[in-house]
Structures are given as structure tokens and as C-alpha cells.
Structure 1
Amino acid sequence: MDKSKLFTYVRYISIFLILINISNYADNLSWLIIALILLYFINNQIRFFNLENHKKLNYISLFLEFFIILSIYSISHNFTLFYLIPLIIDISCLTYTNLKYLLAGTALFLSIFIQIDYSIVSAIETASILLIIFLLSDYIYSQGISKLNYQHLYDKLRISQDNLKKANNELEVYANSVEELTILKERNRISREIHDSVGHALSTTIIQLGALEKLLKNDEDLFELVHELREFVNKSYSDVRGAVSKLKPTEYEKYQNLFKIEELIKTFEKINNVDVKCTISKNTWPLSTPQFSTVYRVIQESLSNSLKHGNATKIKIFITFNNDNCTVSIKDNGRGCENIQKGNGLNGISERIREINGNVKFSNTKDGFLVQGNFPKYIRGDFIE
């Protein structure tokens, strides 16, 4: 049973017992007492159901109830502690500790003041019962608040965990993307270095050995030795060329234009001290000249807008290649824009995307601004070039 149900049951049991008490002296009730009792019930129900979030009205209702109870006793000289039980429960649910205990003390004093006419023992018993009810209600209410706080904290931790998992997945994809691009660049660099250094040296050696062969035609022993050496170097040169061909990545051409985008991002980061992460999917196909030009300019303009208009400190770029289309998303953590009005920059992005038969949308998120463009790989069956 939760707090609200328990307090509701106790409240209505008390009201029911008040009605039984009233029925015992119904013949002696005046219209004034009936009006006060109705006012007591109405005030009690309004406070319980409607004034929980209205602090000032809630306090006014509590003080009004003190006055009504005292007035009922003053006129009828009849009293039951059940008048004070809903009041003491509502006081226990107040948030301000000092005021809560002051009002609780007032309620206990009122019960002693009324009951002392009957006997001191009766007054002490009534006050003790109300004190126990107040302490139990206060404990139940505080436990309920603690439970809500724990639940709120748990929800925040769960949201943080979900965000952490999402960030971890994004970081993993980004790391894989960066690793793949780095490996391709390094393999291409090594193959180029081998071709330019070792390959050039072997090629020069072969030419020189060929010239030496011609000079040693009359000396059969030396001629044969130089000839065999030239054949060996020639074979080594062929092996080196084969190794260079295998080492040079075939996918490099697919990423060649993307390396230029990577250089753009690195330069932007270095100059503006903004954290930019670019993630590229693995299913990459080579961009045509118009496609690459569009992607490059869209990213360039978006980076500039994020810094200039959004004061962003972090920007995420996703370039996703599918079988039939490519999607470019640029999201920042800037201040965003509630009323998006297209200027030269956004109009330029829209025009460039439309030129390659694509579409673009701009949206304001809860934590920044998003530019998302999409364009097809082919138009009417032909590659865009």
C-alpha cells in the first residue's frame, strides 16, 4: 500500500467516525454547527485534492481548520480527536520542517486545551495518540519522498548509462573509421616510398648493368657474370613491383576525396580549437567530382555556421554510404535556432544538394543544430560525373 492510499483510507475512516459522533447528538445540532461541520468537510477535501501544490492556500486552509474545530467545540461543547487526525496528517506532509513542527505542536495544544475540560488523563491520551499519528505520518511521508528521490536518481543514472553506451558506440565507430583511413593512408605511403626509392634504385641498376654488358662483350667470363647479375636485379625489380602493387590498397581511390575532407576538418580544429569527429561508414563508393565538391562545401559551410552562429564546441559529422545513396549529417552542440531563416549559407547548401538530385533538411535539436543531406549514387542509371 503506497503513501497516498494509506493517508486516504485514514482520512475517510476519521471522517466516517466524525459522522458517527455527530449522529449521537443530532437532535441538539443547530444550523450554525451544521454549517461549520459542512465547512470543515469542504475545506478538508479541497485541501487534500486541490491545494497540494499551492503552498500559501494550503497554509490558509490549515489555519482555517484550526478555527473551525475550535468554533465547533465552543458552540457544541462536543469534541472527538478524529477532527484533528486529517489535520495532523496534512501537517506531517508539509515540506518546511520548522513550520511543520510548529503547526503539529499547535494541534496537540488545541487537543489538550479542549480535552482538559473532561480530564487531564483524557487530554494526555488524546495528545499522545495525535503525536503518534503525526510521527508515523511524518516517517511514512519522508520515506515516500526518499523513494521518489532514489527513483529520480535511478532514472538519471539510467539515462546517463544509455547516453554513455551511445557515446561509446559512436566512439567505437569513429575509432574504426579513423583506423581504417589511417591504415589505407599508411599503406599507400609505404608503397609509394618503396616505388620511388627501391624501385628507382633497382631500375637505375638494371640500366647501368645493361650498359656494362655491352662494354664487356669481348670478355666472356665478365660478360656472363654481369648478365646473370642484371637478370637477378631485373627479377628482384619485378618482385618489388609486385609487392608494391599488393601493398597499395585498391580501396584508396574510394577514400582519396575523403582524405581531403579529413584535412579540412583537421585544419578547422587546429585554427578554431573545436572538437570535430568525422565518422565514415565502411560501405564506401567513390564520389564523383560534383558529389565530392558538394559534400566538401556542405561540410565547410556547416562547420563555419556551427562556430559563427551556434558557438559550438563539439561537432559530429557522419558520412554514411548505402548501396544507392549517401547521407551526410553534421550535428553540433551549439545554441541552435528556434526559427530557422535561410541565409546565403543555408541556401547555398540547399542549392548544391539539389544540383546532384538530393535533398537536405535543417532542424533545431534540444542540444544544438543538425544539417542532414542525402543524395543518390546514380541518376537515371548513370554515375554522376
Structure 2
Amino acid sequence: MFKLRQMTFDVETKGRLSLLIVVVIGYLVTFLGAFSSDGYQGTLSETVLALLLGVVYVLLEWYDEAYFHRLPGPGGKALYFGVQIGLIYAIQWLIGPGGVWLVSLPLAATAVYWLSPLWRWPVYAAILFGMFVSLGLRYGYWESAVFFAISVSPAIFFVVIFAEQGVRERTARHRAEELTAELAAANRQLSAYALQAEELAITQERNRLAREIHDNLGHYLTVVNVQIAAAKVLLGSDTERAVAALDKAQALTQEGLGAVRQSVAALRESPLGQRPLPEALADLVRQSNNTGIVTEMAVRGRPRQLTAAEQLTLYRVAQEGLTNVRKHARASRADLTLDFSSPEHVCLTIVDNGLGREREGTGFGLLGIRERVHALGGEVWVETAVNQGFSLAARIPTADEEETG
């Protein structure tokens, strides 16, 4: 931004300085031409006055921007150009033609910078008319005055074209500065949004990690606890069955350790592996049966391909539901249903015949289920009552309705 502004200042300063140098050259040409000929009619006082008026003219040209910042309205502009045109008239009247026409060029350029196209033309006309009138009245050379005004016109219009190009370039630079500022502001906003998104992603990842740990460890530890409790009961009366229960607990412990390692190594990997969802659910049902709860599974409709996210979500719902049956329900039976009957969604339901509750639970496991299902645009229902068992249902819209063979 700083470099762009610095470049703008340098370009504009050089252009203004060039025009003012033209004014100085015009004075030199005029005075040298006048004093080297016998036709100069001015006195010393007129010469000094012309020089002083020229200094005023140059100062007004150089500080035009400061002037228009103080008096930006139409009245201020009319006063400025009226005074400058009057100074040009007076200078030409005092020292004659020569190179004084060069003095008018900066004013033509200034009109381009500060006036609308409609109001520039009166300034151009006034400059040319002043040359014609001042020369005609002072020296009486009316025909020469007409020719002089006509011959100077191309130079004025050349400066006008040059100034208009400068205005376009200045406008483009200012627009570039504005765009740079807007882009910088947008970049700051994007950086802030990126930070917020990063913080949100970290929070979501923490929640996902907590769900993974709860779902994995909660499932295995519950089953292991049931097997150990069964072994304690059978240890004195049926050693063989007690050992079998402990063997199952040991196997589940090893599976649990493997699941933990898998979660730590790659949290995004699905516990289903390459298995289809019904097969993975059947494995959960088998583990539930091993705890002594009669658990059956039914698949309705024709199974179809689901996305990895859909399969993982339904698997976690089933895992959490069966874990809760073992931990809280005191049920003797549980039924798991995977329903593909609707072409628009798939539904998983777990119903047990346990004690039930007065109201649905608010534990982390159920919260995790809701978060998973809602993330896919699905819904979760819980129905329960005291001594009426517990029913958990999750329904998610399917992204791919193509049936598998």
C-alpha cells in the first residue's frame, strides 16, 4: 500500500512540475524575445508586475489541491479559474504574446483534473479568447491575434488529452489502492474466519475423539465386565463355564486393546473394515448373545450400498444401543432391526424388554449418537417407560439409493 501511494505521488508531482517548467520557459521566451526587439512597449513597472502576477499564478497552480480541499464547491471552482484566467489576461496584456501562451497550458490541465467535461470547455474558450482580446486591444493586431489564437489551440488540446490520460491513470491507481485495501481487509476477515474454523474443527475433533473412545472402550469394557461377573458366579459351582467366561473376557480385552490402538493410529478408519454393515452388526449381536442376553437381528428390505459415514454411524448406534442394554436395561432379550424398506432412508432400531426408565437418558453415549445422526441429516427417537423396556431408533437419509447385488 505504501509503495503504491508513493508511486502515485511521484507520477503526479513530475507531471505538475513539468507543466510549471513550461510556464518558466514561456516567461523566458517572452522576455528574451521582447527585450531583443524594438517592439516591446512595456515599462519596468509593468515587467515587475507581470513577474509578480506570474508568481501568483504559479503558486495557485502548485497548491490547487489544497485550495479545492478548502473550497470544493462550484463557487470555489469558479473563483479559482476566474482568477487564473484573469492573471493570464493581465500577463499577456503587460508583456505581449511571445511565449506567454505556454503559461496557459497548466490551467488547461488543471481544468481537466477539477472540472466536469461540460465545464472544461468554457475554460478552454476563455483562455483562447483572452489571447485574442489582450493582443488585439494592446497592440491592435487583430488579424494576427486571430491567427495566434488558432495556432495555439492544438497545443492546448494536446495538453488536455495528456491530462485526461493522466486522470484516467490516477483514477485507475486510486481504484487499485481501494481494491488493495479491500483485499487486505478481506484477507484479515478470512484469517479470522480460518482461525474460527480451526477452533471449531478442533472442538468437533475432540467431540469425535470422545465419542470414539466412549463407543469403543465402553462397549468392550461392558462386555468384559459381564463375563468376569459371570465367571465369579460360576467359579465355585461350574469351573469349566467360569473358565470359558474368563476366556471370552480375555479375548474381548485383546479386541478392545486392538480397537484402542486402531483409534490412536487412525481415528478416521472405520471399525467395519471391509465388512458390509449387516455382517458387522451380526458380530455385535453375537457379542451381545455371549453376555447371556438373547439378541436377534433382522434385516428388512433389500440391502443397498451406503456411504462409509452412513455405515459407521449406524454401526455406532447399534454398538452404543447394545452396550446400554447390557449396562442398564437388566433385559433378557434385545432385538436389532436394520430396515432398508424405504428408498429414501435407512433405519436401525434396538428394542429390549428391560426395566425401562421414566424418561430418556442424557448420557454421553446417547448424546454422541444424536450428534452422529444429526450430522448426516437424520433423526433419533427414544421410547421408554418404567417396566416397559427401552427402544432406540435412528433414521438417516441415504446418499446412494443404488441396490447392491
1:208-267 superposed Cα distances (whole Å, 9 cap, x missing partner): 2443454446xxxxx3xx245313312133225535765787xxxxxxxxxxxxxxxxxx
> Would you say the 8 A contact 2:217–2:256 is kept in 1?
yes
Match of 1:4 in 2: 16
Name 2:162's counterpart in structure 1.
140
Matched residue type, 1:102: P
1:46 pairs with one of 48, 54, 59 = 59
Contact 1:43–1:61 at 8 Å: present in 2 too? no
Tell me how far 1:175 sits from its aligned partner: 3.3
**Is structure 2 residue 190 aligned with structure 1 residue 175?**
no
Give the alignment partner of residue 102 of structure 1, picking from 101, 109, 122.
Answer: 122
Does residue 19 of the first structure (1) align with residue 65 of the second (2)? Answer: no
> How many residue pairs get matched?
237
| Structure 1 residue corresponding to 2:107, chosen from 87, 90, 112 | 90
Q: 1:54 to 1:86 in 2, by over 3 A?
A: same
Q: Structure 1: 5+ residue runs without aligned partners?
A: 73-77, 218-222, 250-385
Q: What is the match of residue 118 of structure 1?
A: 141
Separation (CA, whole Å) in 2 of partners of 1:216 and 1:32: 136
Contact 1:88–1:107 (CA<8 Å) still a contact in 2?
Answer: no
Amino acid at match of 2:115: Y
* Amino acid in structure 1 at the alignment position of 2:55: I
Alignment of 1:178-197 (within 5 A): 178-197=200-219
Distance in 1 between residues matched to 2:226 and 2:40, nearest whole Å: 129
Higher relative contact order (CA 8 A, sep 6+): 2
C-alpha deviation, 1:169, in angstroms: 4.3
Where in structure 2 are there 5+ consecutive unaligned residues?
A: 1-10, 69-75, 265-405
Structure possessing the higher radius of gyration over alpha carbons: 2
Query: Alpha carbons of 1:29 and 1:112: their partners in 2 closer, same or farther (altered >3 Å)?
Result: closer
Give the one of 232, 235, 241 matched to 2:247.
Answer: 232
Report the identity percentage. Answer: 9
**What's the counterpart of residue 151 of structure 1?**
173
- Take 2:228 and 2:257, find their aligned partners in 1: how far apart are those partners? 17
State the Cα distance separating 1:68 from its structure 2 match: 1.4
SS at match of 1:54: helix
Residue 21 of structure 1: how far off its partner (Å): 2.9
Deviation at residue 86 of structure 1 after TM alignment: 1.3
Structure 1 letter corresponding to 2:51: L
Asked if 2 retains the 8 angstrom alpha-carbon contact of 1:7 and 1:89, the reply is: yes
CA RMSD of aligned residues (A): 3.4
Q: Distance in 2 between matches of 1:181 and 1:52?
A: 55
Counterpart contact for 1:11–1:85, Cα < 8 Å: yes
2:141 corresponds to which letter in structure 1? Y
Shift of 1:125: 3.1
